Amino acid sequence: MSTATKQKTFTAVPAEQQRLVSLCGPFDEHLRLLEQRLQLSIAHRDEVFKLSGSASAVQAGHFVLDQLYRETAHHGKVVELSIEQVHLMIQQAQNASTDQQAGSDFSLKTKKGLLTPRNPHQKAYVKHVLEYDVIFGIGPAGTGKTYLAVACAVDALEKNLVRRIVLTRPAVEAGEKLGFLPGDLSQKVDPYLRPLYDALFEMLGYDKVEKYLERGIIEIAPLAYMRGRTLNDAFIILDEGQNTTVEQMKMFLTRIGFNSKAVITGDVTQVDLPRGQYSGLKHAIDVLSNVDAISMNFFDAKDVVRHPIVQKIVLAYEAHEAEKLAAEAAEAPSEKRPRRPKA
């Protein structure tokens, strides 16, 4: 039985030619992407867009057009929408219910404007970061774990809830050896910390980040530099937590001082530790899951907010790993039953 086709009209108000051009994209690229991802058709003339498809697709398409058109204007200026913004808004529409599409309870203020969680898991994650002192964000790459944690840290700093931000991650090679690279230790570990710098530059601006780094308000350092310290009045983020050893994770968690908050992020499927060494993040999940004052937040492939192909890649790897484990379990020799003694 075929699903009944629904129709709905979106009218861009106020109708401004440059904003409409930004909404549609070059050669209507944004509209074509909407049609492909949501399985609907869009016909438009000037500021009127007619959507046809299933009820859920039409509802989601209307939401996306409305939200994107709002983003084409900022402080009276026309904003050119990127294909990335369209991707993210479509994903938000697909993951969120109608009530959640109406708006999120949590918005974080950054240099680029208000940052709003884009799916239920992100929303719960941000909520727990605001409420708990120790928060774990665990899941595949591209789910926004580190980005949202940095946004929460910047928000807390700008509101004077903490006096400084400390960002750290273990310096573990992902299958490559960096010992022969030129430079001192600081220069060698800098590539590991680059994602944290990038997030800060995007949220605070280059000049402000440089000023905060010089004054010690923001500190970015390898995990090894945390030993022996007590961090008070700080928002601390441990990124790539899956590459800590059990001892390192315990060391980090015991650095937390008064009026401090710690967020630990990681992906337990991408451990780069030497073979046979147990991940500190996996161990922490086992040991701390039942501690009431700690929040464990798990993301999955559906939460990936990068290019849609990333979500498909993550799902393909998960399926392959599941098949591999099932095959290994089937091939495992069963225990031999002891022979009965002869009468």
Prior bond to 14 cis, omega within 30? yes
Backbone φ and ψ of 193, nearest 5° = -95, -5
CB 137 within 8 A of CB 264: yes
CB 62 within 8 A of CB 10: yes
What 8-state DSSP symbol labels residue 41? E
Query: Per the structure block, which two tokens stand in for 112?
Result: 């680029």
CB 166 within 8 A of CB 239: no
Strand pairing report for 134-138 and 261-266 = parallel
pLDDT at 343: 47
128-140: pLDDT as tens digits:
999 999 999 999 8
pLDDT at 301: 78
CA–CA gap between residue 51 and residue 183 (Å, rounded): 58
CB atoms within 10 A of CB 197: 16
In Å, how far are 7, 10, 104, 136, 218 from 50, measured between CA atoms? 7, 6, 27, 44, 49
pLDDT at 1: 42
Cβ contacts of residue 191 below 8 Å, gap of 6+?
A: 178
What 8-state DSSP symbol labels residue 231? B
User: End-to-end CA distance of the chain, in Å?
Assistant: 68
CA–CA gap between residue 213 and residue 207 (Å, rounded): 10
CA–CA gap between residue 264 and residue 287 (Å, rounded): 15
Low-confidence ranges of the chain (pLDDT < 50): 1-2, 97-104, 174-175, 336, 343
pLDDT at 106: 60
CA–CA gap between residue 137 and residue 129 (Å, rounded): 9
Radius of gyration of the chain from Cα atoms?
24
pLDDT at 133: 93
CA–CA gap between residue 3 and residue 278 (Å, rounded): 51
- All structural domains of the chain: 6-101 (3.30.1370.10), 108-323 (3.40.50.300)
Report the predicted TM-score, pTM, of the whole model to 2 decimal places: 0.66
SS3 72: coil
CA–CA gap between residue 92 and residue 38 (Å, rounded): 12
